Amino acid sequence: MSGLLATYEWGALPWRKLEVVVFKLQKRIYKAPQARDSRRVHQLQRLLLKSRAAKLLAVRRVTQDNRGKHTAGVDGIKSLTPKQRLTTAAPLEALPTGKPAGRIWIPKPGKDEQRPLSIPTLYDRARQALVKQAMEPQWEAKFEPNSYGFRPGRSAHDAIGAIYGAINKQPKYVLDADIAKCFDRIDRKALLRKTDTFANLQRLIKPSKEAIKRHYRQLAETINRNKTARQENLIRQLNPVIAGWSYYYRAVVSKKVFHTLDQKLYHRLARWARHRHPQKGRRWVVNRYWRANKGKNWVFGGPNGPALNLHASVAIVRHAKVKGDASPYDGNWSYWATRRGHHPGVSKSLARLLKIQQGRCQACGLVFTPQALIEIHHLDGDHRNNRYCNLAAVHRHCHDQIHGGYHELSQQLGTHDKSLIN
């Protein structure tokens, strides 16, 4: 590692080569359990844990990729400079103990309750990421086909697809278990043993009432915050929320829900418009803020400005469930790259970029893995220019490298504001 530190700076490390080295080891770990060679598994895992490439990738994961990269543990360290990242990676070891985790309380979604969240130190997070690289391929080789929680390349949409396939022909019984303090009391040893359970559900799979309420509340709050804003500014705030929610739920029975939300949103916007012009009649208000579009009837938008997205304009497309024996460590990149572009959680613009780029990062050229964090880079630095010729899908860490001046796509130095990315 010392030779590597003396040769490279953080931004100039051969990241593509490092990722290839680590993946080759992970693929061998994945294949070994299938051949029932436990001794080989442990040898390869020890080799990966000592690998300089794996240590560097683990540090990059927690300091550049993760959303909580600027959250401090009990040591008070929130972020690391490039030089400190190299220093952290050098002695990184998978020891069984670490520093105490800081604990904070965060609200539960849609409830007045709170739940505890433990925050390890950055160094311990890097150690966890290192161990995960070694252990996950082994687990992936052992899991049963219909398990979806916390697995790479699998999502809630795959679980929904499995449930739908099990219940659409005949009724089934359901076991709905809520284990109190599950993660505090669970038997870790038993958890590591493979289980053979699968729950089914007999009903239409659609957005929950709580999810619908949260979404409409978000739309309503956005409208209330913008009572005096220009119409086009309000539309630009509402459109990403509507599009993201609709694309996520397009894989289930949502058509009626979409139409209901559009109706409620119309009445909310009508009140917003009448509040701005209390002396004007309904017809004047409608002509001022709505326009007729071909095939869409009346839409909220000025004659020359943007139009409001409609939930119901998003077509219902059934999600193709992941193959039971597929894993990101099997090396079938064409399969995983295609799935990434068709996932309901992927925006229309990102899906198109993935198709244009054939599932590869524009910066490093590597295929996007299912767990890769992707951002959209504006080539000319102008975030108002959203033409596809000005956009590129890149890894989050590659995006940091670009705006740090370490890549050929770099247009400027300094920190990039990710809040501006659509």
Compute the distance between CA of residue 329 and CA of residue 352 in angstroms, rounded to an integer: 25
Write the single-letter amino acid at 385: N
Compute the distance between CA of residue 348 and CA of residue 356 in angstroms, rounded to an integer: 12
112 contacts: CB under 8 Å, gap ≥ 6 = none
Is residue 178 very low, low, confident or very high in pLDDT (cuts 50, 70, 90)? low
What is the pLDDT of the chain when averaged over all its residues?
81
147: pLDDT strictly greater than 50: yes
For the segment 225-259, what is each residue's pLDDT rounded down to a tens digit? 999 999 999 999 999 999 989 988 888 888 999 99
Is residue 406 very low, low, confident or very high in pLDDT (cuts 50, 70, 90)? low
The per-residue pLDDT for 51 is 92
CA distances from 61 to 69, 130, 133, 138, 146 (A): 9, 9, 11, 20, 28
For the segment 255-292, what is each residue's pLDDT rounded down to a tens digit? 999 999 999 999 999 999 999 999 889 889 988 999 87
347: pLDDT strictly greater than 80: no
Span of 4-8, 85-89, 309-313, 348-352 with lowest mean pLDDT: 4-8
Write the single-letter amino acid at 285: V
Is residue 412 very low, low, confident or very high in pLDDT (cuts 50, 70, 90)? very low
Which three-class secondary structure state does DSSP give residue 101? coil
The per-residue pLDDT for 409 is 58
53: pLDDT strictly greater than 90: yes
Percentage of the chain lying above the pLDDT 90 cut = 25
Compute the distance between CA of residue 371 and CA of residue 373 in angstroms, rounded to an integer: 6
The per-residue pLDDT for 221 is 95
Is residue 77 very low, low, confident or very high in pLDDT (cuts 50, 70, 90)? confident
- The model scores a pTM over 0.75: no
Backbone angles phi, psi at 8, to 5 degrees: -120, 150
Is residue 295 very low, low, confident or very high in pLDDT (cuts 50, 70, 90)? low
**284 and 268 Cβ atoms separated by less than 8 Å:** no
Compute the distance between CA of residue 286 and CA of residue 289 in angstroms, rounded to an integer: 5
CA angle 171, 173, 178 (to 5 degrees): 140
The per-residue pLDDT for 421 is 35
The per-residue pLDDT for 104 is 73
Backbone angles phi, psi at 405, to 5 degrees: 85, 15
**224 and 172 Cβ atoms separated by less than 8 Å:** no
